[in-house]
Chains A and B, each alone.
Chain A
Amino acid sequence: MSQHPEVAVLLVSHDGGSWLPTVLDGLLAQTTPLDSVVAVDTGSMDDSVSLVRDGLEGRIPTLLRSLPGSAGFPEAVTDGLVALAESGREPEWIWILHDDSTPAPDALTALLAAAAARPEADILGPKLREWPSLRRLLELGVTISGTGRRETGLERGEFDQGQHDEVREVFAVNSAGMLVRRSVLEELGGFDTALPIFGNDIDLGWRAAAVGHTTLIVPKAIVFHAEAAHRGVRRTPLTGRHTHFQERRAALFTLLANARGVSLPFQVVRLALGSVLRMIGLFCVRAVGEGLDEIAALVAVLRHPGQLLEARRSRAAVVAKVRGADGTDRARVRRLLAPWWLPYRHGLDFFSDLVAAATNQASDVAERRRLAAAERSDTPPPARHRDEDDEFADTGLVVRFFTSPTAVGTAITVLALLIGVRDVVGGLSGGALSPTPDSVGAWWRLHLEGWHPIGFGSEVPAPPYVLPLAVLGTLFGPSLLISLLMALAAPIALWGAWRFLRVVSRLATPYGAPRWLLLWGSVTWALVPLAAGAWGGGRWGIVVAAAILPWLAHAALGFADPEPDHRWRAGLRTGLALALMTAVAPSAWLVVAVLIGVLLASAVRLIPNEVRERSVWGPPVAALAVPLLVLLPWWLPALFEGAFAATVLDIGRWPTVATSGWDLLAGRLAGLGAPPEAGLVLPALALFALLPTKTRIPVVICWLVAAVTALVAIPLTVPSIDLPGTAQQQPGVGAVLLLLHGAWLTAAVLGGLSLHHLGDQPRPVQAGLAVGGIAAVVAPLVALVWFAGWGGEELTDDPPSDVPVYMVQRAEEAPENGVLVLRGSIDDGIRYDVHRGDGPTVGEDEVAALTPEDAEITTIIRSLVTSPDGDALDALAGYGILYIVQAAPADGAVAASLDATSGLDQASSERGTRAWQVTPGPEPLPGHPAWFRWLLLIIQGAAIPVLVVLALPPLRRSRDE
């Protein structure tokens, strides 16, 4: 045994009482005899010291050292070396062990064997496996990425199957189980005392690599490590409560202390930005504490530049001493550091995980309910409809596509939809859809400002959809965005309906729905807003709401989840979807509120005990509260500004023709859409769906939804709302139409679930089913063909404006260059409006239409058109009017009155139109501070990300899970 070099074990302990007995057993069981043990304790409060003393004394020569609790791991190691020197021992190797790391019996043997085989090796590390599972790999050497992440190159929880068993050079090894030449450790100055607990091993590895030492990983040597400090199991005065803070601080310090001097400023900037990004990312996964730790760590490192510089100086000194003129061994360091792209790859992985989790989290409500039910009963879970994917699993993608009627059907539908929306190319407007503003800045301004230069100025808040449009418009530009929304709404609705119907049918029956039924249902749904004429009528809010509704319903299914956590998240997700839907179809909130009220009330009657639980009634109520919070900057000011009608009106340009009950039944907006007969098929099918007894309960629930919606529709649709000015507008029917037809469609699909073993049915029933089936196929086909062929024809561009082009250009220059447009005649009444900026665009219509009439302005204009009045003109200029235009056909009496007004100069205009310029022109409009608006915007701006984060599925699990 004398051939083996002298090895001293350096065991550092701190409150390690729970692991130490095993660790000591592991030490004593080593197949290579140990020459000596230096046990350094850093102020343990438990029986660590006595455990070590009792365990080792008399078996191995042991030096016991005690340090105060404030001493870190580096101090402990240095103290151990001092103790060895004091005792006159000069072992060649030091084997460092933590009190929570226990070596396998042959660990040291393997390490020494590797050291003998590779004499150039100065630091060797064992394979670290998890304690207590003993199987999962923790580390096989580590390196550090450009962002300071500790890179092990392993998947999380990878089992050790020998897949990494080769001796290779690594950047650094964990200090637990590290075998290091004493001379090297002394030469490098030990571990850096600036890194008391975490990250000092990587720093040591970096410094060793920099001076040209080789670090090897020896997989044959196995050490089991509990990572007590990392997991926060052990708290010391040095780790504090914020493990993450300490780890990040160590990482940043390591990077900055060892980075090349040239790149240091760049590194500082990069790490600062990276820390902010990581903080946002951590906030996104509800790890608020860790997010704050990120920033705190950055501040902690950068606050002491002297400490950093000192660390850099000492490293430079070591390099100079060891390598002289050669300088740092850059080639080695660069080779062993993590590649530059690794952080970006992690970011991408994280993002895709996030998206996958967010989209999948509700899809398995049915599954979880079934599992929960299965746990309570003994019957085995029933089989589902066989997926065609399974049948064709081994064939190519193309073959699978063309042999699947569902895939082909979906593709044809999407193709037909895209043919129907061909007009979106090159911008879209007409009907209730105004032109889009030239730049997205207009939407942001509209959303942010409390006073809009619209008409004669308005404090009516911007419609709620302006914020999402502004956010998305920043990416795509306003015109393209509206085109995309109109073009993609139907395919998204189809997708959402597919997912919703699939889960609903699984909730209703154990087998779920066959694919052809899902295809029929989702295609029919995608066609509901198109056949209704919402597309052709420019009622884009309804088109978009139809795309949101199935996702909302899908989220709302989460209310039935067996897990309270899932239910709460479902509530928030439903709330956010409802907020979005309310933004584009404001009456949706009212309808859904009544629906939830009725469903909760019936639930109280049917299952009183369960409903009393807060996690059962809470989520639906939260879903209703979320839109109120998120849309606060819209409805609250609207209440004060006399524009509360906006909360029940459909969005877009008013007035629109009122829709009758029969139109609603057929799913048509008045005067628009496909032949209404085809629309009556859906309610008829929903009626027939009540017949099969097996699915009657869910179908009745659908009808309950339809009945409640229809009841709410009466107060919503019967009275007209007087808009300021000449028009009246029927409140929103969009949400009503969508919910009615959504409920009927779901009922029809659920009824369709009973369609099997048709051969056993009596003849008349078979005939009836055949007729119903044909109608069900023909109705969406009619709508699809109609839409592809003629759906876009109704959306015609607006007639050219009455305002001459040069005035439009002046108006775009400044908000005060308004153009007052007068229409009508003395006999028929004079109507006025103001053209400002680029004219009425998406988002401004509602503001303009809901702004209450200013009696003073009406008086001014009346006096202007009846008798020449210079004072009236001054007042108009004060309101930012540069031109007055009398649209064709111009009433000569009015024109003559304006002709005779001093201060109005004739301006050129087209034949039939009259125009004047106000001289002197208007002054710039005064500013309107809007502190209250800003307060509301801050609340909204904080609420949305917080709610989104809370609604996301849990992504970040700690390493123990």
Chain B
Amino acid sequence: MSESPTPTPGAGRRSVITPQRRVDIIVALAIVLPTVVALCVTLIGREGDPVAGLRPPTTSALTAATVVCPAGINAASGLVRAVRAPGVPGGKVAVRTGVAPVDAEGNGNAQGATKEGAELAIGAGGGVVVPASGGATVLDGRDGAAPGLVAGRGDRLAVPECRAPSYDEWLVGINASARYATTLELVNPDDGDAVVDLALIGATGPIDEPGLRGIQVPGHSVKRLELAKVAPRDAWTAAHLTVTRGRVTATARNTFDPLGRGRITTDFLPTNAEPATTNLILGIPEKKGASTLVLANPGDDEIRVTPRLVTAESVFTPTGAEEIAVAPHSIKAVNLTSLLSGDAAKGVVGLELESTGPLTSSIRLLSKTDLVLLAPVPLLRDPAAAVLPVGAKTLLLGGADRTGVVHVKSYDAAGKVLADKPVEVGPDRAASLALPPQAVTITVEARNTSIGALVSIPATGRGPGLATIRVRAAELRSRIPVVVPQ
């Protein structure tokens, strides 16, 4: 294609190389072209991940909210009190109630269809008591009445969580023996049937239990499952509860029966929403009996867990605390008694579990011979509210991701503000706030941080013990997912 220009004359004329000698174009190209290639190669960088990551949902006004309260612990349990989260106008909600327990044990008969009650207007402040709500109670708010609906029961020793139906959660530390018996209460708030699956994992791996698969819950009804009858097994297990059809609110209660050597005591087992690598369990009382931590690893890899103690000053790993290894698809029970005793354990209000993989957990302990069950607290970003029993109680706050202020308002039954205190919180420490004994509802609003909150309600006198209630976010807005073609 091309002809190279005549090369410069060779030997013999070296001495007279003229300054205007032309640069050989081929030589020039031989240098320039590879350089161009090299430049281009460095310019082409590796691109990012071709698949876009998570797309957080947008929100809009909540148009439907369902809150389900399980039946109280026995015939003496208080009624359901419903209230609004702060700053929500409120409106009338539909009410359905189930059969209330009739005896002191509270067992067996609190199931069957729920029946429709009169609509209730629920506003902010102290809230209203739902009549005839000793049994399972379903509150259903539509449109304007949906946002910020909160309910609770004013019991002293065991307070159940009133919450919206869930689809996928973990119950860690259930048993089906004579000493420890777990009863599951499944409430279906909808017209259609619901189906629930329970998958158990034990200390040695998954447990196949056909009786816990495909549990049918007819529409608008309550179903109670006494695990000791359905699937008797003297072993601690964790249950992965999935709702495969419809909506269900599931509540587990554990009864400890020392078989004649002491008091029979029951507490509600709080759920784990999902396995996480950081679990903050608040509510460990100052004085406690034997304490057991139950860890469940649903993953395929072994997990190592570092327990850290949470106090008002700091979060730390006590000397001598060892890493706990949890095999894949199995649970592990760890005796915490030595960890939670001694000087180091002074002022401990909670336990933070840092793990190498996602896990679920719970703590079982005895406080003044009363069974106390604790599970990780959910982290709140939005204003939250809780319904509390009358009496002495303390709000514990922890898990703040940065320094911030939490505004806590307490209301009495008449809706009067009893206290309105800001609490300073920070990372790696907990905070506590004594609540007025007359307070029946509180609202918790964190600024600048997310926060985990739990109300610890010690009971004294006859039948002493401890109840805890996790403060949950009230649903204010519905989440509209980002929908895209794949």
Contacts and interface: CB of A to CB of B under 8 A. Distances in A.
A848 B479 CA distance: 29
Interface string A761-797: 0000000000000000000000000000000000000
A859 to B, nearest CB: 8
Nearest to A665: B41
Interface stretch (B46-54, B150-158, B253-261): B46-54
Contacts of B481: 824-827, 829-830, 862, 865-866, 894
A875 interface: no
Contact of B486 (A697, A728, A823): A823
Contacts of A851: 485
B484 A827 contact: no
Interface in B12-65: 26-27, 29-30, 33-34, 36-37, 40-48, 50-52, 54-57, 63-64
B54 A828 contact: yes
B45 A727 contact: no
A523 to B, nearest CB: 24
A911 B247 CA distance: 17
A831 B1 CA distance: 56
B30 A700 contact: yes
Interface in B395-446: none
A829 B55 contact: yes
A893 to B, nearest CB: 7
Q: Which of B4, B41, B52, B247 has the most CB of A within 10 A?
A: B41
Contacts of B34: 687, 690, 703, 707
Contacts of B484: 725-726, 829-832, 853, 858
Interface string A864-896: 011100000000000000000000010111111
Contacts of A865: 481, 483
A656 interface: yes
B2 A697 contact: yes
Interface string B81-103: 00000000000000000000000
A828 B55 contact: yes
Contacts of A823: 486
Contacts of B37: 683, 703, 706-707, 710, 740
A350 to B, nearest CB: 38
B485 A725 contact: yes
Interface in A711-767: 711, 713-714, 717-718, 720, 724-730, 740
B8 interface: no
B2 A858 contact: no
Interface string B155-177: 00000000001111000000000
Contact of A664 (B44, B63, B482): B44
A831 B54 CA distance: 11
Given A711-B36, A728-B50, A827-B57, A661 B483 contact: no
A829 B51 contact: no
B247 A896 contact: yes
Contacts of A655: 50-51
B337 interface: no
B57 A899 contact: no
Q: Which of B27, B50, B480 has the most CB of A within 10 A?
A: B50
Interface string A99-114: 0000000000000000
Given A655-B51, A829-B484, A914 B46 contact: no
A832 B483 CA distance: 7
Interface in A638-674: 654-665, 670
Nearest to A864: B483
A418 interface: no
Contacts of A696: 4, 26-27, 30
B335 interface: no
Contacts of A862: 480-481, 483
Q: Which of B47, B48, B192, B243 has the most CB of A within 10 A?
A: B47
Contact of A899 (B2, B40, B43, B192): B192
Contacts of B52: 726-728
Contact of B29 (A665, A700, A891, A893): A700
Given A700-B33, A701-B1, A914-B244, A661 B55 contact: no
Contacts of B328: none
Contact of B47 (A658, A714, A891, A900): A658
Contacts, number: 197
A670 B50 contact: no
Contact of B46 (A660, A714, A912): A660
Given A660-B44, A718-B43, A906-B245, A833 B485 contact: yes
B41 A829 contact: no
A827 B56 contact: yes
A301 interface: no
Q: Which of A659, A665, A683, A829 has the most CB of B within 10 A?
A: A829
B1 A710 contact: no
B197 interface: yes
Contacts of B26: 696-697, 700
Given A706-B37, A832-B486, A889-B168, A826 B57 contact: yes
Nearest to A861: B483
Interface string A838-860: 00000000000001010001100
Contact of A714 (B27, B40, B57): B40
A714 B165 contact: no
Interface string A395-432: 00000000000000000000000000000000000000
Interface in B331-382: none
A436 to B, nearest CB: 21
A827 B30 CA distance: 57
Contacts of A661: 40-45
A593 interface: no
A381 B239 CA distance: 89
B486 A827 contact: no
B50 A727 contact: yes
A891 B244 CA distance: 10
Contacts of B480: 826, 862, 866
B190 interface: yes
Interface in A556-612: 560, 599, 602-603, 606-607
Contact of A455 (B1, B56, B64, B485): B485
B306 interface: no
Contact of B44 (A603, A713, A906, A914): A713
Nearest to A730: B47
Contacts of A704: 29, 33
Contacts of A656: 50
B1 A893 contact: no
B242 to A, nearest CB: 8
Contact of B167 (A717, A729, A896, A911): A896
B246 interface: yes
Interface string B310-340: 0000000000000000000000000000000
B167 A893 contact: yes
Nearest to B192: A899
A829 B52 CA distance: 11
A493 B44 CA distance: 28
Nearest to A663: B46
A710 B50 contact: no
Nearest to A824: B481
A827 B44 contact: no
Nearest to A719: B47
A297 to B, nearest CB: 50
Contact of A713 (B40, B64, B166, B245): B40
Given A606-B3, A827-B479, A853-B485, 15 more contacts: A606-B2, A607-B1, A660-B45, A699-B30, A707-B40, A714-B43, A724-B485, A740-B37, A827-B54, A828-B56, A829-B57, A830-B483, A853-B484, A857-B485, A892-B167
Please name the 5 residue pairs, one residue from A and one from B, whose CB atoms are nearest each other, closest first: A892-B167, A658-B47, A829-B55, A661-B44, A655-B50
20 contacts: A660-B47, A663-B46, A683-B37, A699-B30, A700-B33, A717-B44, A730-B47, A821-B486, A825-B481, A827-B54, A827-B481, A829-B56, A829-B481, A829-B484, A858-B484, A892-B167, A892-B243, A896-B165, A896-B247, A899-B245
